[in-house]
Chain A
Amino acid sequence: MFLSMNNVHKSFTNNDKTELVLSDIQLDVKEGEFVSILGPSGCGKSTLLSIVAGLAHATEGSIELEGKTIKGPGKERGMVFQQAALFPWLTVEENVMFPLLPDMSKKEAQQKAHHYLQMVQLGAYTKHSPHEISGGMQQRVAIARALAMDPALLLMDEPFGALDEQTRSRLHEIVEKIFLETKKTILFVTHSIAESLKLSDRIVVMGTQPGTILEVIELNFPRPRSQSKEELLYYEEKIQALLKSEIDKVTEKEQKHAASR
Protein backbone atom coordinates (compact mmCIF):
# COMPACT_ATOMS: atom_id res chain seq x y z
CA MET A 1 0.00 0.00 0.00
CA PHE A 2 1.21 3.51 -0.82
CA LEU A 3 0.23 5.18 2.44
CA SER A 4 -1.01 3.22 5.42
CA MET A 5 -2.00 4.41 8.85
CA ASN A 6 -1.87 1.60 11.35
CA ASN A 7 -3.78 1.88 14.57
CA VAL A 8 -2.88 5.55 15.10
CA HIS A 9 -3.69 7.02 18.50
CA LYS A 10 -2.91 10.54 19.61
CA SER A 11 -3.45 12.10 23.00
CA PHE A 12 -2.48 15.43 24.48
CA THR A 13 -1.71 15.98 28.15
CA ASN A 14 -2.80 19.30 29.54
CA ASN A 15 -2.73 20.16 33.25
CA ASP A 16 -2.41 16.49 34.19
CA LYS A 17 -5.50 15.67 32.14
CA THR A 18 -4.96 13.38 29.21
CA GLU A 19 -7.32 13.86 26.33
CA LEU A 20 -7.59 11.35 23.54
CA VAL A 21 -7.75 13.21 20.23
CA LEU A 22 -7.39 10.39 17.73
CA SER A 23 -8.38 6.83 18.43
CA ASP A 24 -7.53 3.80 16.37
CA ILE A 25 -7.18 5.40 12.96
CA GLN A 26 -6.84 2.73 10.31
CA LEU A 27 -6.63 3.99 6.76
CA ASP A 28 -4.96 2.97 3.52
CA VAL A 29 -4.47 5.30 0.58
CA LYS A 30 -3.63 4.09 -2.92
CA GLU A 31 -1.15 5.87 -5.14
CA GLY A 32 -2.77 8.53 -7.27
CA GLU A 33 -5.86 8.72 -5.11
CA PHE A 34 -7.59 11.90 -3.93
CA VAL A 35 -8.76 11.30 -0.38
CA SER A 36 -10.64 13.88 1.67
CA ILE A 37 -10.79 13.78 5.44
CA LEU A 38 -14.06 15.34 6.46
CA GLY A 39 -15.27 16.08 9.95
CA PRO A 40 -16.53 18.68 12.41
CA SER A 41 -14.03 20.96 14.09
CA GLY A 42 -12.22 19.26 16.93
CA CYS A 43 -12.30 15.80 15.40
CA GLY A 44 -8.54 15.74 15.06
CA LYS A 45 -8.41 15.76 11.26
CA SER A 46 -5.74 18.46 11.15
CA THR A 47 -3.77 16.65 13.84
CA LEU A 48 -3.87 13.50 11.74
CA LEU A 49 -2.52 15.42 8.76
CA SER A 50 0.25 16.93 10.90
CA ILE A 51 1.28 13.43 11.91
CA VAL A 52 1.43 12.38 8.27
CA ALA A 53 3.50 15.51 7.55
CA GLY A 54 5.86 14.56 10.35
CA LEU A 55 5.21 17.79 12.29
CA ALA A 56 3.55 15.85 15.12
CA HIS A 57 4.00 12.33 16.40
CA ALA A 58 1.47 9.61 17.05
CA THR A 59 1.19 8.47 20.67
CA GLU A 60 0.61 4.94 19.45
CA GLY A 61 0.64 3.27 16.08
CA SER A 62 2.55 4.24 12.97
CA ILE A 63 2.19 5.66 9.51
CA GLU A 64 4.05 4.21 6.57
CA LEU A 65 4.66 5.84 3.21
CA GLU A 66 5.86 3.48 0.49
CA GLY A 67 6.94 1.02 3.17
CA LYS A 68 8.92 3.52 5.23
CA THR A 69 7.76 4.62 8.67
CA ILE A 70 7.29 8.38 8.94
CA LYS A 71 9.47 9.87 11.69
CA GLY A 72 9.72 13.54 10.73
CA PRO A 73 9.10 15.95 7.86
CA GLY A 74 10.40 14.97 4.45
CA LYS A 75 10.55 16.20 0.89
CA GLU A 76 8.37 13.39 -0.41
CA ARG A 77 5.47 15.05 1.43
CA GLY A 78 4.47 18.58 0.49
CA MET A 79 2.06 20.51 2.67
CA VAL A 80 -0.34 23.39 2.10
CA PHE A 81 -1.73 25.06 5.21
CA GLN A 82 -4.92 27.02 5.79
CA GLN A 83 -2.83 30.20 5.66
CA ALA A 84 -0.49 30.49 2.72
CA ALA A 85 2.55 30.86 5.01
CA LEU A 86 4.56 32.59 2.29
CA PHE A 87 7.72 34.35 3.44
CA PRO A 88 7.15 38.10 3.06
CA TRP A 89 10.84 38.92 2.52
CA LEU A 90 10.90 36.81 -0.65
CA THR A 91 9.13 37.42 -3.95
CA VAL A 92 6.52 34.99 -5.24
CA GLU A 93 9.13 33.31 -7.41
CA GLU A 94 11.69 33.09 -4.59
CA ASN A 95 9.08 31.55 -2.33
CA VAL A 96 8.51 28.75 -4.81
CA MET A 97 12.29 28.34 -5.21
CA PHE A 98 12.72 28.10 -1.43
CA PRO A 99 12.40 24.30 -1.12
CA LEU A 100 14.57 23.76 -4.21
CA LEU A 101 17.60 25.94 -3.58
CA PRO A 102 19.66 23.68 -1.36
CA ASP A 103 19.73 20.98 -4.01
CA MET A 104 20.00 22.71 -7.35
CA SER A 105 21.40 25.79 -9.07
CA LYS A 106 19.54 29.06 -8.90
CA LYS A 107 18.77 28.99 -12.61
CA GLU A 108 17.36 25.50 -12.51
CA ALA A 109 15.25 26.33 -9.46
CA GLN A 110 13.94 29.44 -11.18
CA GLN A 111 12.88 27.47 -14.25
CA LYS A 112 11.09 24.96 -12.08
CA ALA A 113 9.42 27.69 -10.07
CA HIS A 114 8.11 29.31 -13.25
CA HIS A 115 6.78 25.99 -14.45
CA TYR A 116 4.74 25.44 -11.30
CA LEU A 117 3.63 29.07 -11.10
CA GLN A 118 2.26 28.71 -14.60
CA MET A 119 0.46 25.56 -13.51
CA VAL A 120 -1.41 27.60 -10.90
CA GLN A 121 -1.89 30.39 -13.47
CA LEU A 122 0.38 32.90 -11.78
CA GLY A 123 3.09 33.10 -14.43
CA ALA A 124 2.66 36.87 -14.60
CA TYR A 125 3.25 37.48 -10.89
CA THR A 126 6.71 36.03 -10.31
CA LYS A 127 8.31 39.28 -9.12
CA HIS A 128 5.50 40.40 -6.83
CA SER A 129 5.70 40.39 -3.06
CA PRO A 130 3.27 38.06 -1.29
CA HIS A 131 1.38 40.95 0.31
CA GLU A 132 0.79 42.53 -3.08
CA ILE A 133 -1.43 39.67 -4.28
CA SER A 134 -4.83 38.46 -3.05
CA GLY A 135 -5.43 35.69 -0.54
CA GLY A 136 -6.53 33.26 -3.24
CA MET A 137 -3.40 33.99 -5.25
CA GLN A 138 -1.23 33.55 -2.17
CA GLN A 139 -2.75 30.14 -1.62
CA ARG A 140 -1.99 29.25 -5.24
CA VAL A 141 1.64 30.23 -4.68
CA ALA A 142 1.66 27.97 -1.62
CA ILE A 143 0.37 25.12 -3.78
CA ALA A 144 3.06 25.79 -6.38
CA ARG A 145 5.67 25.82 -3.62
CA ALA A 146 4.52 22.45 -2.31
CA LEU A 147 4.42 21.01 -5.82
CA ALA A 148 7.89 22.32 -6.66
CA MET A 149 9.46 19.70 -4.39
CA ASP A 150 7.73 17.15 -6.59
CA PRO A 151 6.37 15.29 -3.55
CA ALA A 152 4.81 11.84 -3.87
CA LEU A 153 2.09 12.92 -1.47
CA LEU A 154 0.44 16.33 -1.27
CA LEU A 155 -1.12 17.22 2.08
CA MET A 156 -3.69 20.01 2.19
CA ASP A 157 -5.01 21.25 5.53
CA GLU A 158 -8.25 23.15 4.89
CA PRO A 159 -6.39 25.11 2.25
CA PHE A 160 -9.39 27.14 1.11
CA GLY A 161 -11.13 27.57 4.45
CA ALA A 162 -10.24 31.26 4.69
CA LEU A 163 -11.29 32.20 1.15
CA ASP A 164 -14.55 33.49 -0.26
CA GLU A 165 -16.90 31.26 -2.23
CA GLN A 166 -15.97 32.42 -5.74
CA THR A 167 -12.24 32.19 -5.14
CA ARG A 168 -12.71 28.80 -3.56
CA SER A 169 -14.54 27.26 -6.52
CA ARG A 170 -11.89 28.66 -8.87
CA LEU A 171 -9.20 27.02 -6.75
CA HIS A 172 -11.13 23.74 -6.77
CA GLU A 173 -10.83 23.71 -10.54
CA ILE A 174 -7.11 24.41 -10.36
CA VAL A 175 -6.52 21.66 -7.80
CA GLU A 176 -8.54 19.18 -9.83
CA LYS A 177 -6.58 20.07 -12.94
CA ILE A 178 -3.28 19.64 -11.10
CA PHE A 179 -4.47 16.33 -9.68
CA LEU A 180 -5.36 15.03 -13.15
CA GLU A 181 -2.18 16.37 -14.76
CA THR A 182 0.40 15.38 -12.17
CA LYS A 183 -1.36 12.26 -10.84
CA LYS A 184 -0.23 13.12 -7.34
CA THR A 185 -1.72 11.42 -4.34
CA ILE A 186 -3.61 14.05 -2.37
CA LEU A 187 -4.78 13.96 1.24
CA PHE A 188 -7.20 16.83 1.71
CA VAL A 189 -8.59 17.94 5.07
CA THR A 190 -11.83 19.91 4.98
CA HIS A 191 -15.03 20.60 6.89
CA SER A 192 -16.99 21.35 3.74
CA ILE A 193 -19.13 18.50 2.43
CA ALA A 194 -19.54 20.16 -0.96
CA GLU A 195 -15.79 20.57 -1.33
CA SER A 196 -15.08 16.93 -0.56
CA LEU A 197 -17.82 15.70 -2.90
CA LYS A 198 -16.48 17.84 -5.71
CA LEU A 199 -12.88 16.72 -5.46
CA SER A 200 -12.40 13.30 -3.88
CA ASP A 201 -12.17 9.71 -4.96
CA ARG A 202 -12.89 8.74 -1.40
CA ILE A 203 -14.21 10.65 1.61
CA VAL A 204 -13.15 9.65 5.09
CA VAL A 205 -15.85 10.88 7.45
CA MET A 206 -14.55 11.43 10.96
CA GLY A 207 -16.42 11.64 14.25
CA THR A 208 -15.37 13.53 17.31
CA GLN A 209 -14.47 12.87 20.96
CA PRO A 210 -12.30 11.04 20.33
CA GLY A 211 -11.56 11.38 16.63
CA THR A 212 -12.43 8.15 14.88
CA ILE A 213 -13.24 7.13 11.34
CA LEU A 214 -17.01 6.78 11.03
CA GLU A 215 -17.23 5.74 7.45
CA VAL A 216 -15.29 5.76 4.22
CA ILE A 217 -17.33 6.71 1.20
CA GLU A 218 -16.24 5.80 -2.28
CA LEU A 219 -17.23 8.14 -5.12
CA ASN A 220 -17.06 6.63 -8.57
CA PHE A 221 -18.19 9.54 -10.70
CA PRO A 222 -16.50 11.02 -13.71
CA ARG A 223 -14.80 14.39 -13.31
CA PRO A 224 -15.78 17.21 -13.41
CA ARG A 225 -18.49 16.38 -10.95
CA SER A 226 -20.97 19.10 -11.88
CA GLN A 227 -22.79 16.62 -14.19
CA SER A 228 -23.75 14.06 -11.56
CA LYS A 229 -25.73 16.33 -9.26
CA GLU A 230 -28.42 13.79 -8.31
CA GLU A 231 -26.07 11.07 -7.13
CA LEU A 232 -24.00 13.59 -5.20
CA LEU A 233 -27.10 14.79 -3.41
CA TYR A 234 -27.65 11.29 -2.08
CA TYR A 235 -24.16 11.24 -0.60
CA GLU A 236 -24.45 14.74 0.73
CA GLU A 237 -27.53 13.75 2.73
CA LYS A 238 -25.86 10.61 3.93
CA ILE A 239 -22.80 12.50 5.20
CA GLN A 240 -24.98 15.15 6.75
CA ALA A 241 -26.86 12.48 8.71
CA LEU A 242 -23.54 11.00 9.87
CA LEU A 243 -22.21 14.36 11.00
CA LYS A 244 -25.46 15.44 12.63
CA SER A 245 -25.22 12.76 15.27
CA GLU A 246 -21.63 13.90 15.90
CA ILE A 247 -22.64 17.50 16.35
CA ASP A 248 -25.51 16.38 18.63
CA LYS A 249 -22.92 14.52 20.68
CA VAL A 250 -20.85 17.67 21.13
CA THR A 251 -23.91 19.74 22.05
CA GLU A 252 -25.06 17.12 24.56
CA LYS A 253 -21.66 17.07 26.21
CA GLU A 254 -21.59 20.83 26.41
CA GLN A 255 -25.01 20.89 28.05
CA LYS A 256 -24.01 18.21 30.56
CA HIS A 257 -20.89 20.20 31.33
CA ALA A 258 -22.97 23.32 31.85
CA ALA A 259 -25.48 21.46 34.07
CA SER A 260 -22.77 19.99 36.27
CA ARG A 261 -21.39 23.39 37.18
Chain B
Amino acid sequence: MQPAVKRIIFYVLLFSIWQGAVYVFDVSPSLLPAPTDVFASLYEGFSNLTLVYDLAASFRRLFIGLAIALVLGLLLGVLLAKSKTADETLGSLILALQSVPSIVWLPLAIMWFGLNEMAVIFIVVLGATIVMTINVRTGIMNVPPLFIKAAKTMNYKGFRLFSKVTIPASIPYAVTGMRLAWAFAWRALMAGELLSTGPGLGYSLRFASDFGDMSRVIAIMLLIMLIGIIVDLLFFQRIEKKVLRKWGLATS
Protein backbone atom coordinates (compact mmCIF):
# COMPACT_ATOMS: atom_id res chain seq x y z
CA MET B 1 0.00 0.00 0.00
CA GLN B 2 1.19 3.49 -0.79
CA PRO B 3 2.21 5.66 2.19
CA ALA B 4 -0.26 8.34 1.07
CA VAL B 5 -3.12 5.85 1.13
CA LYS B 6 -2.08 4.60 4.57
CA ARG B 7 -2.00 8.16 5.81
CA ILE B 8 -5.44 9.01 4.47
CA ILE B 9 -6.92 5.92 6.12
CA PHE B 10 -5.14 6.81 9.38
CA TYR B 11 -6.50 10.35 9.51
CA VAL B 12 -10.01 9.34 8.50
CA LEU B 13 -9.95 6.77 11.33
CA LEU B 14 -8.54 9.29 13.81
CA PHE B 15 -11.23 11.86 13.10
CA SER B 16 -13.99 9.22 13.12
CA ILE B 17 -12.90 7.93 16.53
CA TRP B 18 -12.75 11.49 17.83
CA GLN B 19 -16.20 12.28 16.41
CA GLY B 20 -17.64 8.98 17.65
CA ALA B 21 -16.20 9.38 21.14
CA VAL B 22 -17.55 12.90 21.54
CA TYR B 23 -21.00 11.66 20.36
CA VAL B 24 -21.10 8.45 22.41
CA PHE B 25 -19.79 9.90 25.70
CA ASP B 26 -21.66 13.18 25.17
CA VAL B 27 -18.56 15.28 25.94
CA SER B 28 -19.21 18.93 26.67
CA PRO B 29 -18.00 21.22 23.83
CA SER B 30 -16.12 23.31 26.39
CA LEU B 31 -13.98 20.25 27.14
CA LEU B 32 -13.57 18.73 23.70
CA PRO B 33 -15.64 19.83 20.71
CA ALA B 34 -16.31 17.39 17.88
CA PRO B 35 -14.20 17.66 14.72
CA THR B 36 -17.23 18.87 12.81
CA ASP B 37 -17.54 21.84 15.19
CA VAL B 38 -13.81 22.55 14.77
CA PHE B 39 -14.09 22.54 10.99
CA ALA B 40 -17.20 24.71 11.17
CA SER B 41 -15.32 27.21 13.29
CA LEU B 42 -12.38 27.10 10.89
CA TYR B 43 -14.72 27.73 7.97
CA GLU B 44 -16.41 30.58 9.80
CA GLY B 45 -13.09 32.16 10.69
CA PHE B 46 -12.03 32.15 7.06
CA SER B 47 -15.37 33.29 5.64
CA ASN B 48 -15.61 36.30 7.98
CA LEU B 49 -11.88 36.94 7.37
CA THR B 50 -10.88 37.11 11.06
CA LEU B 51 -8.46 34.21 10.66
CA VAL B 52 -7.12 35.73 7.44
CA TYR B 53 -6.28 38.98 9.25
CA ASP B 54 -4.70 37.01 12.07
CA LEU B 55 -2.60 35.05 9.61
CA ALA B 56 -1.47 38.20 7.84
CA ALA B 57 -0.51 39.86 11.14
CA SER B 58 1.40 36.79 12.33
CA PHE B 59 3.23 36.36 9.05
CA ARG B 60 4.24 39.98 8.99
CA ARG B 61 5.99 39.63 12.34
CA LEU B 62 7.44 36.30 11.34
CA PHE B 63 9.03 37.67 8.18
CA ILE B 64 10.47 40.72 9.90
CA GLY B 65 11.84 38.61 12.75
CA LEU B 66 13.13 35.82 10.53
CA ALA B 67 14.82 38.23 8.12
CA ILE B 68 16.64 39.99 10.96
CA ALA B 69 17.56 36.63 12.50
CA LEU B 70 18.98 35.21 9.26
CA VAL B 71 21.16 38.24 8.60
CA LEU B 72 22.28 38.43 12.23
CA GLY B 73 22.91 34.68 12.39
CA LEU B 74 24.97 34.78 9.21
CA LEU B 75 27.16 37.61 10.50
CA LEU B 76 27.58 36.07 13.95
CA GLY B 77 28.31 32.65 12.48
CA VAL B 78 31.04 34.09 10.26
CA LEU B 79 32.48 35.98 13.23
CA LEU B 80 32.59 32.86 15.43
CA ALA B 81 34.12 30.74 12.68
CA LYS B 82 36.78 33.29 11.82
CA SER B 83 37.77 34.63 15.24
CA LYS B 84 39.00 32.13 17.80
CA THR B 85 38.64 34.64 20.62
CA ALA B 86 35.04 35.43 19.66
CA ASP B 87 34.29 31.71 19.48
CA GLU B 88 35.73 31.05 22.92
CA THR B 89 33.87 33.93 24.57
CA LEU B 90 30.72 34.93 22.66
CA GLY B 91 30.44 31.38 21.29
CA SER B 92 30.07 29.92 24.77
CA LEU B 93 27.32 32.43 25.56
CA ILE B 94 25.43 31.58 22.38
CA LEU B 95 25.65 27.87 23.15
CA ALA B 96 24.38 28.55 26.67
CA LEU B 97 21.50 30.68 25.37
CA GLN B 98 20.54 27.83 23.06
CA SER B 99 19.29 25.84 26.03
CA VAL B 100 16.95 28.67 27.07
CA PRO B 101 13.58 28.77 25.24
CA SER B 102 13.42 32.29 23.81
CA ILE B 103 9.93 32.87 25.28
CA VAL B 104 11.38 33.29 28.78
CA TRP B 105 12.75 36.61 27.55
CA LEU B 106 9.22 37.97 27.09
CA PRO B 107 8.86 39.67 30.50
CA LEU B 108 12.10 41.55 29.89
CA ALA B 109 11.18 42.29 26.29
CA ILE B 110 7.85 43.79 27.40
CA MET B 111 9.70 46.03 29.84
CA TRP B 112 12.11 47.13 27.14
CA PHE B 113 9.82 47.52 24.14
CA GLY B 114 6.36 47.75 25.70
CA LEU B 115 3.43 45.38 25.26
CA ASN B 116 3.54 45.55 21.48
CA GLU B 117 4.81 43.93 18.31
CA MET B 118 8.42 44.83 18.99
CA ALA B 119 8.51 42.57 22.03
CA VAL B 120 7.19 39.62 20.01
CA ILE B 121 9.59 40.25 17.13
CA PHE B 122 12.41 40.34 19.66
CA ILE B 123 11.44 36.85 20.85
CA VAL B 124 11.30 35.57 17.28
CA VAL B 125 14.71 37.06 16.45
CA LEU B 126 16.26 35.58 19.56
CA GLY B 127 14.82 32.12 18.89
CA ALA B 128 15.95 31.95 15.28
CA THR B 129 19.29 33.77 15.40
CA ILE B 130 20.99 31.29 17.70
CA VAL B 131 20.30 28.21 15.59
CA MET B 132 21.28 30.05 12.41
CA THR B 133 24.52 31.24 14.00
CA ILE B 134 25.48 27.76 15.13
CA ASN B 135 24.81 26.26 11.70
CA VAL B 136 26.72 28.92 9.79
CA ARG B 137 29.66 28.56 12.17
CA THR B 138 29.69 24.78 11.76
CA GLY B 139 29.41 25.12 7.99
CA ILE B 140 32.39 27.42 7.69
CA MET B 141 34.50 25.37 10.07
CA ASN B 142 33.73 22.20 8.11
CA VAL B 143 34.89 23.48 4.73
CA PRO B 144 37.34 20.81 3.53
CA PRO B 145 40.91 22.13 3.97
CA LEU B 146 41.71 20.64 0.57
CA PHE B 147 39.32 23.13 -1.09
CA ILE B 148 41.20 25.98 0.53
CA LYS B 149 44.57 24.55 -0.46
CA ALA B 150 43.47 23.98 -4.05
CA ALA B 151 42.08 27.51 -4.33
CA LYS B 152 45.31 28.93 -2.91
CA THR B 153 47.34 27.24 -5.65
CA MET B 154 45.02 29.03 -8.09
CA ASN B 155 45.96 32.36 -6.57
CA TYR B 156 42.85 32.92 -4.49
CA LYS B 157 43.38 34.59 -1.15
CA GLY B 158 41.78 36.94 1.36
CA PHE B 159 38.22 38.03 0.76
CA ARG B 160 38.06 36.48 -2.72
CA LEU B 161 39.00 33.09 -1.27
CA PHE B 162 36.32 33.55 1.41
CA SER B 163 33.54 34.64 -0.93
CA LYS B 164 34.28 32.21 -3.77
CA VAL B 165 35.18 29.08 -1.80
CA THR B 166 34.39 29.25 1.92
CA ILE B 167 30.88 30.70 1.54
CA PRO B 168 29.64 28.41 -1.25
CA ALA B 169 31.21 25.39 0.44
CA SER B 170 29.23 26.07 3.61
CA ILE B 171 25.87 26.69 1.94
CA PRO B 172 24.43 23.24 2.76
CA TYR B 173 24.82 23.99 6.48
CA ALA B 174 23.43 27.49 6.06
CA VAL B 175 20.31 26.10 4.34
CA THR B 176 19.74 23.64 7.18
CA GLY B 177 20.24 26.57 9.53
CA MET B 178 17.54 28.54 7.68
CA ARG B 179 15.12 25.66 7.91
CA LEU B 180 15.68 25.25 11.63
CA ALA B 181 15.53 29.03 12.13
CA TRP B 182 12.10 29.06 10.51
CA ALA B 183 10.89 26.26 12.80
CA PHE B 184 12.23 28.02 15.91
CA ALA B 185 10.80 31.37 14.77
CA TRP B 186 7.34 29.91 14.18
CA ARG B 187 7.20 28.33 17.66
CA ALA B 188 8.58 31.46 19.31
CA LEU B 189 6.08 33.63 17.48
CA MET B 190 3.10 31.58 18.63
CA ALA B 191 4.30 31.58 22.24
CA GLY B 192 4.99 35.31 22.10
CA GLU B 193 1.58 36.15 20.65
CA LEU B 194 -0.18 33.89 23.11
CA LEU B 195 1.36 35.78 26.02
CA SER B 196 1.33 39.31 24.68
CA THR B 197 -0.93 41.19 22.34
CA GLY B 198 -2.71 40.94 18.98
CA PRO B 199 -3.67 40.75 16.33
CA GLY B 200 -2.27 37.38 15.39
CA LEU B 201 -3.00 33.66 15.50
CA GLY B 202 -1.57 33.16 18.98
CA TYR B 203 -3.51 36.11 20.36
CA SER B 204 -6.77 34.93 18.82
CA LEU B 205 -6.20 31.53 20.35
CA ARG B 206 -6.00 33.05 23.82
CA PHE B 207 -8.95 35.31 23.07
CA ALA B 208 -11.06 32.28 22.09
CA SER B 209 -9.89 30.46 25.19
CA ASP B 210 -10.96 33.38 27.41
CA PHE B 211 -14.47 33.02 25.97
CA GLY B 212 -14.45 29.24 26.31
CA ASP B 213 -14.65 28.77 22.54
CA MET B 214 -12.72 25.51 22.33
CA SER B 215 -13.77 24.88 18.72
CA ARG B 216 -11.92 28.02 17.73
CA VAL B 217 -8.95 27.10 19.95
CA ILE B 218 -8.54 23.75 18.25
CA ALA B 219 -9.19 25.29 14.83
CA ILE B 220 -6.28 27.68 15.38
CA MET B 221 -4.09 24.87 16.70
CA LEU B 222 -4.77 22.95 13.49
CA LEU B 223 -3.94 26.02 11.45
CA ILE B 224 -0.63 26.52 13.28
CA MET B 225 0.26 22.89 12.65
CA LEU B 226 -0.72 22.98 8.99
CA ILE B 227 1.28 26.11 8.26
CA GLY B 228 4.29 24.69 10.05
CA ILE B 229 4.16 21.51 7.97
CA ILE B 230 3.37 23.19 4.66
CA VAL B 231 6.13 25.78 4.82
CA ASP B 232 8.65 23.17 5.91
CA LEU B 233 7.67 20.60 3.28
CA LEU B 234 6.94 22.83 0.33
CA PHE B 235 9.64 25.39 0.86
CA PHE B 236 12.56 24.54 3.10
CA GLN B 237 12.81 20.80 2.55
CA ARG B 238 12.70 21.37 -1.19
CA ILE B 239 15.52 23.89 -1.11
CA GLU B 240 17.52 21.67 1.20
CA LYS B 241 17.10 18.65 -1.07
CA LYS B 242 18.06 20.66 -4.13
CA VAL B 243 21.19 22.04 -2.49
CA LEU B 244 22.26 18.66 -1.13
CA ARG B 245 21.84 17.10 -4.55
CA LYS B 246 23.74 19.88 -6.28
CA TRP B 247 26.56 19.68 -3.73
CA GLY B 248 26.70 15.90 -4.24
CA LEU B 249 25.76 15.22 -0.62
CA ALA B 250 22.40 13.49 -1.15
CA THR B 251 22.53 9.81 -0.31
CA SER B 252 20.12 8.54 -2.94
Chain A contacts to B: CB under 8 angstroms: 53-55, 73-75, 77-79, 81, 83, 85, 87-89, 98-99, 102, 129-131, 145-146, 149, 155
Contacts and interface: CB of A to CB of B under 8 A. Distances in A.
Interface residues of B, number: 21
Q: Is the interface of A mostly helix, strand, loop or mixed?
A: loop
A87 B169 contact: yes
A116 B129 CA distance: 45
A89 B146 CA distance: 15
B68 interface: no
Contacts of B150: 79, 81, 85
Given A85-B147, A87-B169, A89-B168, A55 B152 contact: yes
Contacts, number: 57
B7 interface: no
B165 interface: yes
Nearest to A85: B150
Contacts of A130: 248
Given A102-B160, A129-B248, A89 B169 contact: yes
26 contacts: A53-B153, A55-B149, A55-B152, A73-B153, A73-B154, A75-B155, A78-B154, A81-B146, A85-B144, A85-B146, A85-B149, A87-B165, A87-B168, A87-B169, A88-B246, A88-B247, A88-B249, A89-B247, A98-B151, A98-B164, A99-B154, A99-B155, A129-B246, A129-B248, A131-B248, A149-B154
Nearest to A130: B248
Contacts of B157: 73
Contact of B152 (A73, A83, A89, A155): A73
A77 B153 contact: yes
Nearest to B249: A88
A250 B75 CA distance: 50
B246 A81 contact: no
B147 A87 contact: yes
Given A54-B153, A55-B152, A85-B144, 8 more contacts: A75-B155, A83-B146, A85-B147, A88-B248, A89-B247, A99-B155, A129-B246, A155-B153
A73 B152 CA distance: 6
B171 interface: yes
Nearest to A146: B153
Nearest to B248: A131
A68 to B, nearest CB: 15
A55 B247 CA distance: 26
A159 B141 CA distance: 26
A155 B154 CA distance: 12
A152 B91 CA distance: 45
A170 to B, nearest CB: 23
Contact of A78 (B144, B153, B164, B247): B153
Interface string B129-154: 00000000000000010110111111
Contacts of B149: 55, 81, 85
A98 B246 contact: no
Contacts of B160: 102
A146 B151 CA distance: 11
Contacts of B151: 98
Nearest to A82: B146
A130 B147 CA distance: 14
Nearest to A90: B168
A74 B153 CA distance: 6
A73 B164 CA distance: 17
Closest 5 CB pairs of A and B: A131-B248, A99-B154, A85-B150, A79-B153, A88-B248
A55 B154 contact: no
Contacts of B246: 88-89, 129
Contacts of A87: 147, 165, 168-169
Contacts of B171: 89
A99 B150 CA distance: 10
B159 to A, nearest CB: 12
A146 B153 CA distance: 9
A32 to B, nearest CB: 21
A55 B157 CA distance: 12
A157 to B, nearest CB: 10
Interface string B146-183: 11011111110100100011001101000000000000
